[in-house]
Amino acid sequence: MLHRTAILWLILLVGLSWGMPLKAQVGIRNTADSLVSVFRSNRYDECDTSKFNLLKKICDLYMSLNVDSSCYYSQILYDESKRCGDAKYILIGCEKLNDSYFYQGDYDKCGDIAFEGLAIASELGDKRTMASFYSSIGTSYGMRANASLADEYWNKSYNIYAQLNDTNRMVAVMNNMAINALNNDMFDVAESYADTTLYLCKSTDNKTSLAECYFIKAGVLASRYDFEDTGENVDILKRSIDYFYISREISLSDIEVFDIAKCNIYIAQNYVELSGVQKSRSKELLDSCEILLDGAYRICVRNGFDSLLDMYKNSRLAWLIKKHKYQEAKVYLDSLYAEYSANIENHGVEIEDTYNWYAELYSEMKDYKEAYNYSKKFHLMYRHNRQNDFAAKSATNMAQTHFDLQMQARERENLAKQLQYEANSKMLIIILAASAIILLILGYSFWKSRKANHMLDEKNAELEQQKEEVLTINENLENQRDLLRKVNSQITDSINYASLIQNAALPSTKILSETLGEHFVFFRPKDIVSGDFYWLSQKNGYIFVVLGDCTGHGVPGACMSMIGIRILSELITEQKYA
């Protein structure tokens, strides 16, 4: 049986330490340990950038070896850079913590730190890092089975990478979207994404990405196979095998042993399925399957690819049963059952699968009594696991709700920061404009004064007359100024009184509390009086709540709001609307 979720799980493992030879891991660990010794033996100033750069290297090295260690040093980098107030390194600390939390499976913390990093990257105008955090938030939602929000943030990430013309990142994000669609049984959407990423991969020189794109395309096709012996199903399976082979050939040319073993296992799985519908080629397909599985097993053992060995075991069992090597299959199953039974709390699903394999094996051996017994054990274990899954899902749903609330709060906080930034920018523009006007006035006054002084030297008599005129003008200006102040004060007082009238027309806090219970009202007029209003009435057992937005601001808007309130009162209260 081809397990779709297992395929997708293995896709996510590509590029991590599971795909790294053991010798390489030892070399990286030695380098990381030596850098840690350097970090601990030196005394650094609070804002020494060499300290931050060293911590960044340590985090990168440990990420491929020990996620907990990477998380520990990422936290130090984050705390130290925050203490210093260096936004650049705070952002790097957020990135490293985000990666660590993700691989630890702590998606709450992953989302929190991603939103914090997103806000900093936005302030710095760092679009590439913004896209990275959008992708990380999408992946966090995807891992928590929130498909719609995952797609929303992946789309934001994809659009930014498209603006930056970063094809490799576009491919990585869209591959996530394809996997998300496949996990939600949206096969057409998944195939569309897979075709798009394959097209993008062909335009780059990145062989690793190209191999992965072919692998995902093969996985999407394999997921469409429904185990029925039809021409269309056989064609789907063959096309899937072709794409797995292409992915394998690219990995061979680049000596990517993890990807080679991975493709071998899934080609072998497809060969097992194909042998069941193409009887004439059964021996040929199963012989090829044996060669592929042996090769994959040697690679896994040599390089310590434990995650692939779990998939290898299922493929080998399917092959043994198809080859009618029942005794060998039983011995293999017995060893797996003994291994899983030793830690049953953590291997409930594996034991469930083992019972299913036993039932299939005994059914092939025509020992239907044993097949029936194991089938019963399988169904009992299935129900037991689903009950545990239900309890876990309930807890997960509660955690998901908490996580969503945190994400919304973080988004509101980011929006508030953005609005504050825009308000500060507007205030700065106003101050600069006012300063320019004052300078112009001062310059003009200075020029006029110089001109008057020059005329005083030449024409004293005329100057005296002009002086009298200037005094008269000044007196008039002062009178006009006083008049303007008086008129302005009257207008402001009138508007303030109008504000009292408008507030009186709005529902009081007491009425709102009695009618709605727990509530809040955010009402902040732009120009003392507002063109917006809220209105409430209770009639015939119904509560009418209205939020109004009238044309204009200030006095015109306020007039419109009062008309709106009056019309609503006539419609609902005075005309006894039922």
Return the higher-pLDDT residue of 521 and 258: 521
Low-confidence winner among 313-317, 372-376, 451-455 (lowest mean pLDDT)? 451-455
Residue 528 has pLDDT above 80, yes or no: yes
% the chain with pLDDT above 90: 2
Structure tokens that stand for 283 in this block: 């021996």
In whole angstroms, what is the distance from residue 341 CA to residue 536 CA? 65
Q: Please name the helix (run of DSSP H) or strand (run of DSSP E) that holds residue 532, with its range, or none.
A: strand 532-539
If phi > 0 it is left, if psi is from -120 to 50 it is alpha, else beta; for residue 228 that is: beta
pLDDT in tens, 258-285: 778 888 888 888 888 878 777 778 888 8
Which position has the token pair 């957020």? 94
Q: What pLDDT shows up at residue 385?
A: 66
Low-confidence winner among 183-187, 227-231, 410-414, 449-453 (lowest mean pLDDT)? 227-231
With beta carbons less than 8 A apart as the criterion, state whether 138 and 153 touch: yes
| Most trustworthy range by pLDDT among 298-312, 401-415, 542-556 | 542-556
% the chain with pLDDT above 70: 84
Q: Please name the helix (run of DSSP H) or strand (run of DSSP E) that holds residue 542, with its range, or none.
A: strand 542-549
Structure tokens that stand for 330 in this block: 């039983």
* Arithmetic mean of pLDDT over the chain: 79
Beta strands (DSSP E) in 204-352 are none
Which position has the token pair 């719609």? 148
Helix, strand, coil percentages (3-state) for the chain, rounded to 5, are 80, 5, 15
With beta carbons less than 8 A apart as the criterion, state whether 330 and 361 touch: yes
pTM greater than the 0.75 cutoff: no
With beta carbons less than 8 A apart as the criterion, state whether 121 and 133 touch: yes
Paired sense of beta strands 542-549 and 532-539, if any: antiparallel
In whole angstroms, what is the distance from residue 125 CA to residue 304 CA? 42
pLDDT in tens, 128-139: 888 888 888 888
Confidence band of 3 (pLDDT split at 50, 70, 90): very low
**In angstroms, what CA-CA distances link 254 with 260, 417, 456?**
10, 47, 92
Residue 224's nearest CA partner among 187, 181, 196 is: 187
Return the higher-pLDDT residue of 498 and 398: 498
With beta carbons less than 8 A apart as the criterion, state whether 70 and 98 touch: no
User: Can you tell me the mean pLDDT for 120-124?
Assistant: 87
User: Can you tell me the mean pLDDT for 411-438?
Assistant: 81
Which position has the token pair 């399976």? 237
Q: What pLDDT shows up at residue 407?
A: 58
Q: Which amino acid is at 70?
A: S
Q: Which residues contact 312 (CB under 8 A, 6 or more apart)?
A: 265, 293, 296, 297, 300
Phi and psi at residue 459, to the nearest 5°: -135, 85
3-state secondary structure of 533: strand
With beta carbons less than 8 A apart as the criterion, state whether 331 and 292 touch: no
Reduce the secondary structure of 321-351 to three states and give it as a string. Answer: HHCCCHHHHHHHHHHHHHHHHCCHHHCHHHH
User: Can you tell me the mean pLDDT for 254-259?
Assistant: 67
| Most trustworthy range by pLDDT among 190-204, 230-244, 265-279, 436-450 | 436-450
Please state, as a whole number, how many other Cβ atoms lie within 10 Å of the Cβ of residue 510. 8
Confidence band of 14 (pLDDT split at 50, 70, 90): very low
User: Can you tell me the mean pLDDT for 335-360?
Assistant: 80
Return the higher-pLDDT residue of 437 and 346: 437
Confidence band of 176 (pLDDT split at 50, 70, 90): confident
User: Can you tell me the mean pLDDT for 273-299?
Assistant: 83
**In angstroms, what CA-CA distances link 180 with 174, 293, 484?**
10, 29, 67
In whole angstroms, what is the distance from residue 535 CA to residue 545 CA? 6
3-state secondary structure of 257: helix
Which position has the token pair 């995902």? 216
| Residue 101 buriedness (CB in 10 A; 0-12 / 13-18 / 19+) | buried
Q: What pLDDT shows up at residue 383?
A: 78
Confidence band of 547 (pLDDT split at 50, 70, 90): very high
Confidence band of 77 (pLDDT split at 50, 70, 90): confident
User: Can you tell me the mean pLDDT for 51-79?
Assistant: 83
Confidence band of 172 (pLDDT split at 50, 70, 90): confident
Return the higher-pLDDT residue of 10 and 219: 219
Long-range contacts of 563-566 (CB under 8 A, 24+ apart): 564/533, 564/535, 565/505, 565/506, 565/533, 565/535
User: Can you tell me the mean pLDDT for 393-415?
Assistant: 57
Q: What pLDDT shows up at residue 386?
A: 63
In whole angstroms, what is the distance from residue 289 CA to residue 308 CA? 16
Structure tokens that stand for 306 in this block: 């434990």
With beta carbons less than 8 A apart as the criterion, state whether 262 and 295 touch: no
Q: What pLDDT shows up at residue 390?
A: 47
With beta carbons less than 8 A apart as the criterion, state whether 92 and 81 touch: yes
Residue 564's nearest CA partner among 578, 577, 547 is: 547
Which position has the token pair 């209003």? 533
Return the higher-pLDDT residue of 68 and 143: 68
User: Can you tell me the mean pLDDT for 143-168?
Assistant: 84
Q: Please name the helix (run of DSSP H) or strand (run of DSSP E) that holds residue 266, with its range, or none.
A: helix 257-277
